[in-house]
Chains A and B, each alone.
Chain A
Amino acid sequence: MLENPTNHHRNHFRGLRAAITGGTSGLGLALVRELLARGARVAFVARGRDGVERVEHGYPESYGIVGDVSKKTDIHPIAMQVMGMLGGLDVLINNASDLGPVPLAMLADTDCEELERAFATNVLGPFRLTKALLGALGSSAREGFGAVVLNISSDAAINAYPRWGAYGASKAALHHLSRIWNEELASQGIAFLSLDPGDMDTPTHAAAVPDADLASLKRPEIAAVELVDAIGNLLSFMKSERIAEEATP
């Protein structure tokens, strides 16, 4: 009998410890729900205390953390709370992002401060938070749980869309950062994914394209299933690699 691949992936998440930034709306909230549904223990981060408390109230088994990943001084307090609540970390999802100027603007019309903010949230924040949690991820890898960092990317990281300059350039940097992290840390058992969830019906997309045809947009819940499946596939692959390695005399 053929195994249902979805059920197969689901087993990978029971008891795993996951942290998600930007977890109170859009894709981030959908990822919180999807990971909880698959049995993971989930900590999420967002800037607004009201939003954090609302999601915690809706999902009392989740752990909410108030913090802004674009602020250097918030990173270690966030990492400390993630680790203090979960005791360890297997999956980190850097999802929080900044669109740059709203409404979207040509680069020539983008303020330096807007570009800086986009890079602070989309590049420096994920870099710093990943670095602060790398010890925990390495420990997870040595215990054979498989450690994965998923950085949420975009087609704007690859294609040069006019008026998406701050967002596109920062997402391109994050994408490349992910590829280099992956090369450097594969030997330590820590894997990095950079995935484009597609155009979704989220607050971010509404800010960028206010007149978009909502029917043409992906539901964030669908994107969350696809992304968590991708992490599950990778965990499954890493596990088989590990078993093969251990079997080698």
Chain B
Amino acid sequence: MTAAHLPIQRPRQAKLLVIDEQEQFRHWPRSRLVDLFRSGDLVIANDAATLPASLAGEHPRSGSLIEVRLAGRDSLDTNDIRHWTAVVFGAGDFRMRTEDRPPPPRVVTGDKFVLGPLHATVERILGHPRLVRLVFEESSREILEGLARHGRPIQYSHVRPSLALWDVWTPIAGPPVAFEAPSAGFALNWHSLSSLKDRGARFATITHASGISSTGDPQLDARLPFDEPYYIPPSTASAIRDTQMRNGRVIAIGTSVVRTLEAAAGVGGSVQAGQGVAIQRIGSGSRLRVVDAMLSGTHEPGTSHHELLRAFLDDEGLAHLDGELNLRDYRTHEFGDSVFVEHVQQPSVRQFEQNRSHLN
């Protein structure tokens, strides 16, 4: 696979690899995405807008230039934006590969950062010299304005032009809580929302604070994804109930939607509305309780997004998928091509659990 290096959300030539419940592989143009949706399906996307989470600044104690990437928070509460988990980088910017960036100065509890108009204090070091808990000194309004004016979208060297916020907001973006774009949602536009409705499918959203995908540090990357807060609106919880009762498919647009729905899943795949924090990792041992199919980007082996595919496919299926993506030159990363994968056993497992919960 090659990296998609231009920030175009819906390139005309975008490809879609479709893996159905019989593990049959089909290669489609992604413009046909809506043809995958059937009457009774519920399509759920992450409506998080992407924060300009990269803050250039300095570490006055050492006199060093640094970049701070906001990477986590405790909840999605709008009044709770003073405290953040953040990753500290040394001098430089996205034009250099994260692996090649110089290390940041040594940071200790109580250190100050000056990040453009914002001032932050290191409250704690979180088990790794570059991972810190920060508290901003300013008010919520000043923090929001400071982020909006000084922050830049987190970016990696494979995308060449400097990203603007409109490059990383999906067409359905709402609350600004994602640290990196929930990029599977780039594939959707408002025409596809109308079309899926015309086909008898429904559309719903969750809000999930999608985290950073890479830090350039193997020890830190092994800790990804960090805990991610989410919100499930009442209309989405109710649409999931309706869909399950009618044996429709719950289709997640992106790994973040899978993570939210599976974190919130109760017995029999029931999902309650409200806020929560997704702490589970989804992978080969995970049994999906809610999600029947997923649209996702193409991911490279070794990443947490790639591991998540193991919940949908066995080792053989995943090897076949990786082989096809390489053979057909699918493009990877956030502006790349897509995979639609259906999970085979889900309805029977869910039916079994529902029956069991009724018996109890």
Chain A residues proximal to chain B, CB less than 8 Å: 63-66, 73, 75-81, 83-89, 132, 134-136, 138-139, 142-144, 184-185, 187-188
What is the minimal beta-carbon distance from B78 to any residue of chain A, in angstroms? 4
16 other A-B residue contacts (CB within 8 Å) besides A76-B148, A76-B165, A135-B174 = A63-B141, A65-B145, A66-B145, A76-B164, A77-B145, A77-B149, A77-B165, A80-B165, A84-B78, A85-B140, A87-B175, A135-B169, A135-B173, A139-B233, A142-B203, A142-B233
Question: B147-164 interface mask toward A, CB cutoff 8 Å, 1 = contact, 0 = none?
Answer: 111000000000000001
Say which residue of A65, A78, A135 sits within 8 Å of B49 (CB atoms). A135
A136 to B233, CA, bound (A): 12
What is the minimal beta-carbon distance from A226 to any residue of chain B, in angstroms? 30
Residues in B with CB closer than 8 Å to A86 are: 78
A130 to B133, CA, bound (A): 35
Minimal Cβ-Cβ distance residue in B for A66: B145
Are the C-beta atoms of B171 and A134 separated by less than 8 Å? yes
- The 8 A-B pairs at the shortest CB distance, nearest first, are namely A77-B148, A76-B165, A135-B172, A136-B174, A84-B144, A135-B174, A87-B78, A80-B176
Q: Cβ of B220 < 8 Å from any Cβ of A?
A: no
Are the C-beta atoms of A85 and B141 separated by less than 8 Å? yes
Secondary structure at the B interface, as helix, strand, loop or mixed, is mixed
What is the minimal beta-carbon distance from B228 to any residue of chain A, in angstroms? 18
Residues in A with CB closer than 8 Å to B236 are: 142
Number of A-B contacts (CB under 8 A): 95
Q: Cβ of B235 < 8 Å from any Cβ of A?
A: yes
Say which residue of B81, B170, B235 sits within 8 Å of A143 (CB atoms). B235
Among B23-31, B189-197, B256-264, B345-353, the stretch in contact with A: B189-197
A66 to B190, CA, bound (A): 29
Minimal Cβ-Cβ distance residue in B for A63: B141
Q: Cβ of B114 < 8 Å from any Cβ of A?
A: no
Question: B125-157 interface mask toward A, CB cutoff 8 Å, 1 = contact, 0 = none?
Answer: 000000000000000110011011100000000
Say which residue of B52, B141, B165, B170 sits within 8 Å of A135 (CB atoms). B170
A132 to B49, CA, bound (A): 10
A228 to B149, CA, bound (A): 32
Indicate the member of B47, B81, B175 with the most A CB atoms within 10 Å: B175
Q: Can you identify 6 A-B contacts, CB atoms within 8 angstroms?
A: A84-B140, A84-B144, A84-B175, A135-B173, A142-B235, A184-B194
A66 to B49, CA, bound (A): 20
Are the C-beta atoms of A185 and B190 separated by less than 8 Å? yes
Residues in A with CB closer than 8 Å to B170 are: 135
Residues in A with CB closer than 8 Å to B205 are: 135, 138-139, 142
Q: Cβ of B234 < 8 Å from any Cβ of A?
A: yes
Residues in B with CB closer than 8 Å to A88 are: 174-175
Are the C-beta atoms of A83 and B175 separated by less than 8 Å? yes
Say which residue of A64, A77, A83, A187 sits within 8 Å of B194 (CB atoms). A187
Are the C-beta atoms of A132 and B172 separated by less than 8 Å? no
Are the C-beta atoms of B235 and A188 separated by less than 8 Å? no
The size class of the interface chain B forms with chain A is: 35 or more
Say which residue of A66, A142, A144, A188 sits within 8 Å of B204 (CB atoms). A142
A78 to B49, CA, bound (A): 13
Residues in B with CB closer than 8 Å to A75 are: 166
A78 to B169, CA, bound (A): 14
A85 to B143, CA, bound (A): 11
A144 to B236, CA, bound (A): 12
A113 to B136, CA, bound (A): 42
What is the minimal beta-carbon distance from B198 to any residue of chain A, in angstroms? 9
Residues in A with CB closer than 8 Å to B172 are: 134-135, 138-139
Indicate the member of B51, B204, B205 with the most A CB atoms within 10 Å: B205
Are the C-beta atoms of A187 and B175 separated by less than 8 Å? no
Indicate the member of B81, B190, B197, B235 with the most A CB atoms within 10 Å: B190
Are the C-beta atoms of B235 and A80 separated by less than 8 Å? no
Q: A77-B165, A85-B141, A187-B197 are in contact. Are A143 and B233 (CB under 8 A)?
A: yes
What is the minimal beta-carbon distance from A186 to any residue of chain B, in angstroms? 10
Minimal Cβ-Cβ distance residue in A for B148: A77
A134 to B173, CA, bound (A): 8
Are the C-beta atoms of B148 and A80 separated by less than 8 Å? yes
Are the C-beta atoms of A85 and B169 separated by less than 8 Å? no
Residues in A with CB closer than 8 Å to B164 are: 73, 76
Residues in B with CB closer than 8 Å to A73 are: 164
What is the minimal beta-carbon distance from A191 to any residue of chain B, in angstroms? 15
Say which residue of A64, A76, A185, A187 sits within 8 Å of B169 (CB atoms). A76
Minimal Cβ-Cβ distance residue in B for A128: B166
Residues in B with CB closer than 8 Å to A76 are: 148, 164-166, 169
Residues in B with CB closer than 8 Å to A136 are: 47, 174-175
A66 to B117, CA, bound (A): 15
Residues in B with CB closer than 8 Å to A144 are: 235
Q: A76-B164, A139-B47 are in contact. Are A132 and B144 (CB under 8 A)?
A: no
Residues in A with CB closer than 8 Å to B169 are: 76, 132, 135
Residues in A with CB closer than 8 Å to B165 are: 76-77, 80
Give the residues from 56 to 101 in chain B that come closer than 8 angstroms, CB to CB, to chain A: 78, 81
Say which residue of B49, B166, B203, B233 sits within 8 Å of A83 (CB atoms). B49
A101 to B169, CA, bound (A): 35
Minimal Cβ-Cβ distance residue in A for B149: A77
